[in-house]
Amino acid sequence: MYKSMKVSPSILTADYLNLLPVIQKMEAAGTDFLHLDVMDGQFVPNISFGVPVIKSIYEHTNLPLDIHLMIDRPSRYIEQFAKYAHILNIHYEAEPNVVDTLKKIRVLGCRPAVTIKPNTKPEAVYPLLKLVDMVLVMSVEPGFGGQAFMPSALTKLQKLHKESERQGLSLELEVDGGINFETAKLCADAGATVLVAGSFLFNSHDMPSAIKELQQL
């Protein structure tokens, strides 16, 4: 049965002084989510933006916000981000109380998600799969856009897909990093259902067409 891929464009490489026209273009293209990478300079070696910017985006778009917290101990801040998130995603490696935090995200009315870095084995989050609606596999080291895709992500997607089926779950499997038409096809074949694309989309000559082509994988 044909099922289209979901696309979650990342604004990490966007011109932040001209975000609204870019977001409107994504809306017109029919993108599924808007991916917002929150970085704290501690868990990852970069700083991006926080709640005030996300609040402004939320107030000017109807796109569901896919908020990816690349921050240390995100449990300290989830109440603030949950006000604006459709999906609220925390890193397995960043949160000592990951189970309680994922449960709280759902109580706050968001879809909980968990992310694993390239060096984290997928088996680490098998016990968490029943608590989340999505698992994000990083196919680059988190913190910067424009990195090359790590093929090891494909094996992780395959394993997570197989394990979610074994547990009788229907999870979204998202992949982030180095996504282009070639790597997107590999991820789709490995079980991915959501693609995060940033530099690839912003460097394309026709972003709406690129989004639609990814959705058709």
Structure confidence at residue 1 (pLDDT): 29
Q: Count CB atoms within 10 A of the CB of residue 189.
A: 12
Catalytic: 37? Answer: yes
Instruction: Give me the residue spans of the domains in the chain.
Output: 6-215
Contact call for residues 201 and 192 (beta carbons, < 8 A)? no
Under DSSP, is residue 209 helix (H, G, I), strand (E, B) or coil?
Answer: helix
Residue 115 and residue 139: Cα distance in Å, rounded?
11
For residues 1 and 94, the model is more confident at 94
Residue 128 and residue 44: Cα distance in Å, rounded?
23
Catalytic: 72? Answer: no
- Is residue 196's pLDDT more than 80? yes
pTM of the model: 0.94
Residue 119 and residue 170: Cα distance in Å, rounded?
25
Structure confidence at residue 71 (pLDDT): 97
Q: Which of 15, 66, 176, 189 is catalytic?
A: 176
Residues 6 or more apart in contact with residue 209 via CB below 8 angstroms? none
Under the banding of pLDDT at 50, 70 and 90, the label for residue 212 is very high
Residue 149 and residue 174: Cα distance in Å, rounded?
14
Q: Which of 32, 37, 66, 133 is catalytic?
A: 37
Closest CA to 177 of 209, 206, 136: 136
State the CATH architecture for 6-215.
Answer: Alpha-Beta Barrel (3.20)
Residue 110 and residue 81: Cα distance in Å, rounded?
10
Contact call for residues 175 and 153 (beta carbons, < 8 A)? yes
pLDDT digits (tens, 9 = 90+) for 76-93: 999 999 999 999 999 999
Structure confidence at residue 210 (pLDDT): 94
Structure confidence at residue 143 (pLDDT): 78
